[in-house]
Amino acid sequence: MTYAMKPDTIQQLDAYKAEVLKINGATSPDRAFTVAPSIAQNIELKVQESSHFLSLINIVRVDEAEGEKISLGVADKPIAYRTSGDRIPADPTELDSSGYLCRKTNFDTKITYAKLDQWAKFPNFQKLVRDFILSKIGLDRIKIGWNGTSAAAETNRTANPLLQDVNIGWLEKLRLSAPARVMSEAIPGTGKVRIGLTGDYVDLNALVYDLINNIIDPWHRTALEELGFVVIMSRDLNADRLFPLVQTVQPPSEMMAADVIMRSGKAAGIPVVNVPFFPASSLLITPLNNLSIYWQSGTRRRRIVDNPARDRIEDYQSVNEAYVIEDLGKCAFVENIQFV
């Protein structure tokens, strides 16, 4: 039995589709159209605003599908020197040669007639529909950024619920382009980085100190606060880090010290942040503005289909995008962390 939308819902939905067509200069929602440049830019802005984490990283338009990184936030490499020979200027934005490659990603959504009827009761119906779609795009981008390991021709959401096969994300970029900045085990053959009195590091503070002093490029190490460095830590690690402080009965002086640690939210003096979909048993040291998503201008396509056979509308969107680490020298990543 098919579901019949209420007349008021049909009217509001038609107005929504007409507005989408108008601002993009398109004639029919059933035909795929290229989203107008200004509208595409606005969509990207709204996607970025849909997530606190996305608002702290870079989402940048590029003209070419492939090329050199833009080097956003990279101007702190040393340039001062002296020579008795020919002077050779340095480019403070010159980085590694990994570059970027934008790949087409589909962001297709469906909304049932029944749900549209519920939303039609509200005066901001068009905004509800728009924000529902854009928030899903934002969340999926975060999943890909942290968990993407490949770009399969045919993806499988059932086998890869964190969208591991949609695109190559930031952490995989580190594994591929800068393996020396990735620690998967402290002692070869163990497959673990053990934290505890009998482990490889006595606590996470010691691990973070070691990463700063031995993996982060030396010219960044004394300006961590100024450069906005943070420790992105998985929720399980942060819980394991703080749980003993609240679980153990301690003398008043030690209780005060524990309270300071919890309130500061820092590891080795660097702010600890939790972000959605970050892999368990892992941490990444980097400034948030060192992470970027590039999207290629002129590649956002859209098609809106009213599908009465399935009692829903379908919104088909796609855009070419890439996940980029601007400066690999500002990164240190550890996985397979285990408390012992």
Q: Output DSSP code: residue 193.
A: E
SS (H, E, C) 208-253: HHHHHHHCCCHHHHHHCCCCCEEEEECHHHHHHHHHHHHHCCCCHH
Answering whether pTM is above 0.75, one says yes
Q: What is the pLDDT of residue 216?
A: 97
Q: What's the mean pLDDT when you consider all of the chain? A: 89
Q: What is the pLDDT of residue 87?
A: 74
Using only C-alpha atoms, the chain has a radius of gyration, in whole angstroms, of 24
- With a cut of 50, say whether residue 98 has pLDDT above it: yes
Residue 38's CB is within 10 A of a number of other CB atoms, namely 10
Mean pLDDT of 287-299: 97
Q: Output DSSP code: residue 201.
A: B
Mean pLDDT of 199-213: 97
Q: Output DSSP code: residue 149.
A: B
Q: What is the pLDDT of residue 263?
A: 43
Q: What is the pLDDT of residue 230?
A: 96
The DSSP secondary structure of 260-327, one letter per residue, reads HHHHHTEETTEEEE--TTPPTT-EEEEEGGGEEEEEETT--EEEEEEEGGGTEEEEEEEEEEEEEES-
Q: What is the pLDDT of residue 256?
A: 43
Give the closest residue to 241 by CA, choosing from 292, 287, 185, 202: 202
Higher pLDDT, 250 or 179: 179
- With a cut of 90, say whether residue 239 has pLDDT above it: no
Q: What is the pLDDT of residue 79?
A: 73
List, in order, residues 6 or more apart from 97 with CB less than 8 Å away.
none
Measured distance CA(318)–CA(18) in Å, rounded: 20
Q: What is the pLDDT of residue 88?
A: 75
Distance of alpha carbon 72 from the chain centroid: 16
Q: What is the pLDDT of residue 91?
A: 63
- With a cut of 50, say whether residue 249 has pLDDT above it: no
Cβ contact 94:77 at 8 Å: yes
Q: Output DSSP code: residue 3.
A: P
pLDDT tens digits, 103-148: 999 999 999 999 999 999 999 999 999 999 999 999 999 999 999 9
pLDDT tens digits, 163-200: 999 999 999 999 999 999 999 999 999 999 999 999 99
Q: Which of 61-70, 90-99, 213-222, 285-294 has the lowest mean pLDDT?
A: 90-99
Mean pLDDT of 77-83: 71
Read off the pLDDT band of 321 (50, 70, 90): very high
Residue 60's DSSP bridge partners are 294
Mean pLDDT of 77-87: 73
Mean pLDDT of 15-32: 90
Q: What is the pLDDT of residue 254?
A: 47
Cβ contact 176:161 at 8 Å: no
Read off the pLDDT band of 81 (50, 70, 90): low
- With a cut of 70, say whether residue 246 has pLDDT above it: no
Higher pLDDT, 77 or 2: 2
Q: What is the pLDDT of residue 223?
A: 92
- With a cut of 60, say whether residue 316 has pLDDT above it: yes
